Structure 1
């Protein structure tokens, strides 16, 4: 197998994994991004195969990817699709860069894998889902335990596992069940590194058995005791408990961000009268708020140091 310092070795960059992203090739000591007006799925199959990324699911042109240091290289590459390496294809170029459009070649290979938690109120709670073979699917809960859940929370940067018994009222999955019989040691960086059945469609698992977890960094917000969901006392869910927000530091700008985060439109009024919506109970989770009103959520400008039991 070749190495990445060989001429015409490809790589995929700025995607979600090494099997997704903009095509770049190594030639004469430097990397350059490929621009080829005739690039097709056969060319993409060869790149995916050479990188050990399965087969190509999608290929398209994009100018949205982050710029690289490498200059654009314009080629006319024609593969049959069965070649083991890109340099085995017929290659004309590099051509005059003036004939290039501004779009880079982008590939999605079948071995591109992602992980997320869905329908749980934040990126750190919900149904465990894996993106594989171009489709989001779920994980079967047979043999699932706390160690497996810890690997998910760690991989997502969501702290540690808090709960593995989320209510079945959470939305069921709709895609395939991609994984079952997961048996992690706890040292893995990715869920798919754990000893388990091979990634693929698990016909003997239903979506009633989808894994749902909550990690320690899960946070939610709501307004309570109002006439509708867009009016009331601000409450924050953190550390498995609903608590309140310190009113001493919450001003008009902060409240405007809360309305935006809850998809409740434009802020109309802020009240600090406990008689209006009732006094809160539980811990005071959030203080020292200083929004500019341009943030999309309160979490964009707060840090873990301000989430604590305290006085408001």
Structure 2
């Protein structure tokens, strides 16, 4: 069933009802592509499961496998409001309940997101929204953060469950604030979302206390759970660039009037502050000593970044062009995580060193950033936490620098095609290999994706494609499937290993696949053809081996 569930998920056919050996009338023709499939059940593609291809040709047609999927199509809350009620799913043509064991916060958050009701939910007491009358379809749902829909989550087999009505799931989501509550405008009969939000400060409209217009008056936002994600939504909504900091505790003075908003929990994708989940507006127990504020960058154009006086584009003093002027970065709290964001932003691989004290010489002009605090996920240095543009007491003797690994490259060698072979990485202008300690299908999948070679078909250990030469760059690679490059996966560090080339890792990928529609009169109609391994497999093709 684990293997079959991956098939249903990949085909977007809901959940698995049956995994079986089909009768003779349903058996296929042609080669047997996969054998010994071993899925964990959470993979998004069958080729990401552990498989064997070396003995696939020994499998007979009588060993074909089949799957029956059930088109799980919908989810709803009943006997309550749009965002609260008894949870029901549509399965096998009938609405039914969901058992509440072990309904945790991650699973409830996924349900609420699916219903467009925010991203937090509370489990209610039994019978809050009445007893269900239909079957109970699912029990033991255990969602993780990587899942995007309820039917992707591991659970007990989908069938009529034995749990009783007391165990039905009743849930209340913290939904979006109804837009009808914002029909009134500060100064006119019609206004934009931007005009219902303001920043009140001493210097400019992009730094100060956050205030919103609601129920006919301006009020403040409580700093409970206030963070950079919430602040960034404010800056984006007002056209003030991005958030530089998110101070609380009435950093720009205490406001007056009501405190309209408490416990905001923005995801960062919202176009306005009231699209974010929060406690019901107007139901705050904060006081104005907790008013939230924001410092926005105040620019709409992205700054520019470069490394200077280091002998290459990937080493040197960190300089940023802001407001048409190049300046430097102070080394207060400067570390390898900050340097890593610089290297990634410049396409220079990973950070090797993060020197301070004007290691590459003193710069000139403004010192744009100080106390940079990156977490490593940022796409630009100025998206990291900092004191704000130009706010520092540093001198150029504290200019920060970076030495990056250089532009890394990846290839597969000695496998007979660009999509199979020994894994080789170019680092510091030298090609080397990868040790097979801990090497698995998740790691191989990143290699295939990075090279545009489809999905990983198999992994190879013990120098299967022959021993490489040069350094062994990576060891104990541990990819989770989300990274864009092999060297972004967790590993021991560049060149840190006790391996020999007898342990070089290899990969076989499915190949660079293409898709087309033929003989339908347009590019959007026709016979479906797939190009795989440089040929189109069709029964009506000419002989592959002409005399």
TM-score (norm 2): 0.26
Higher relative contact order (CA 8 A, sep 6+): 1
